[in-house]
Structure 1
């Protein structure tokens, strides 16, 4: 027990390095903006919405004009997050956009699966073959020991509602899944952005990569309102590893945003989604 607490303290010390402001804080200054406005940092808002799939590269104009494309993107975002789709950057939209979140886009290749007709979402082609229901995983890099237990618990929670089984293998062995902590640009095309922005991301089957942001403050069991639960985020990202996309149900673990101190287990929507994807 003492060793686990020491590891936790080391993890907190490691991730405490970094700025206190969120990379999404600029959105607070845009409250009230709407089509026709030309306001500083609207270009940053366009970049934010492109990052999460709401604007295509062809719509990312290098200016601060709140144009038709941006209004449409904001309305789509609002629908996905159960906000009245006015196209205006209102208080509810600011609160949701500035919340720490998963780095996986809400819209994939222009397809908005969050509005697919069900609450949960997935892509049929992004799943593991029936012949592969036992997945191995390994921890890479300087993965803190204290973070391994919640990840293992998360794998077992998914195993309990599916026909998947999971087991850890040695770092030298081949595995289906890999877990690692990074900060900033780490070479996968999806750089982390410091504390309070993107918490983690993972890749759909059969890529298998799952990355935590080392700049974030993390907790497990010792709950802290300024930190993020390793178990909750592990459950979410493993959902992506298995093929689930983001859900519109706020209580679901596959909902894209999180609050400090928040803990979640698999919800009914998560279970219905994974069972629908694999026809269980």
Structure 2
């Protein structure tokens, strides 16, 4: 049946809002080069999953008290996945994601006032202390013999300066670069394969980096990775954002374990060609419980920004306090009301 165009009912402001509100889920543009995984039981088998659980602390070879299902359930809980105890699609996809090499299964005891926390500590809650230096100052240096061919020393130094600044902005700790690698508190380098610390790297993707608990200070990155600071310049489909990994590993240097909050900097996995360089509330509360609060930092501002997500410049839809809206539609309605 043919309808004359002039017989169509106009969209009112109310019906326009109704359409916006009932969009079922956020919509955002996807980068076609973004790393994706379509798991199946054929490409991730049970032995591989067991090796993964052994590697990251969920199964102990000499401990028969923990079943595969129990270990898998704990893995799912720690990564913020649906807890099924079965190798379902969500779990299978995470098994092969690039990630930090530090085990997830660490001490989860936290202060009782923070009952919804997802951050954890190293066993024993170690932290950096300096009796004669308040506020705390830590030095860091780069191994000149162990760099990456993908970036210049200047680029590497700039990335880490930004990454350290993220943590320094929320706690009373400052980070100062030094040329003396041997005496620096934090020692940073890119290493390949077995490099003498008992934690060999595994090549492209897989484990991206690892760090040791305070006050060890060693921060090692896998030299085999295609490290990047600008995805417009580095076109590799397996490129890894250096600042995202640096922010994460510095959290370990300070004493934080892995968070189960997927938007936290301390979440253990990171897809190629993706960035996660900002601290969320879970990261901040976790590190402040170890070191206290930077007097210039305002937690309420961060809480507000996470409660009401800033509108993105690309027009993607975001949810804020139960309502979905977009930059384009909001401007349209405001303009209509001002007519």
Residue in structure 2 matched with residue 267 of structure 1 by the alignment: 280
What runs of 5+ residues in structure 1 fail to find an aligned partner? 1-23, 32-40, 61-66
Whether the 8 Å CA contact 1:202–1:209 is kept in 2: the answer is yes
Q: What SS class does the counterpart of residue 58 from structure 1 fall into?
A: coil
Aligned pair partner of 1:50 in 37, 51, 54: 54
What runs of 5+ residues in structure 2 fail to find an aligned partner? 1-36, 294-339
Residue in structure 2 matched with residue 71 of structure 1 by the alignment: 69
Aligned pair partner of 1:174 in 156, 177, 183: 183
Task: Output the CA distance in 2 between the equivalents of 1:94 and 1:121.
Answer: 24
Relative to the length of structure 1, the TM-score reads 0.77
Q: Quick one: structure 1 residues 159 and 89, their matched pair in 2 at CA, closer, same or farther if it must change by over 3 Å?
A: same
CA deviation map 1:25-52 (0-9, x unaligned)? 9986366xxxxxxxxx533432221110
Whether the 8 Å CA contact 2:181–2:187 is kept in 1: the answer is no
Alignment of 1:85 with 2:78, yes or no, is no
1:159-170 mapped onto 2 (5 Å cutoff): 159-170=168-179
Task: Count residues in correspondence.
Answer: 240
Residue in structure 2 matched with residue 195 of structure 1 by the alignment: 204
Q: Quick one: structure 1 residues 274 and 112, their matched pair in 2 at CA, closer, same or farther if it must change by over 3 Å?
A: closer
Residue in structure 2 matched with residue 5 of structure 1 by the alignment: none
Whether the 8 Å CA contact 1:101–1:198 is kept in 2: the answer is yes
Whether the 8 Å CA contact 1:30–1:42 is kept in 2: the answer is no
Whether the 8 Å CA contact 2:140–2:181 is kept in 1: the answer is no
1:94-109 mapped onto 2 (5 Å cutoff): 94-108=92-106
1:3-18 mapped onto 2 (5 Å cutoff): none
Question: Which structure has the larger Rg?
Answer: 2
Aligned pair partner of 2:140 in 137, 140, 150: 137
CA deviation map 1:250-272 (0-9, x unaligned)? 11100000111211211121111
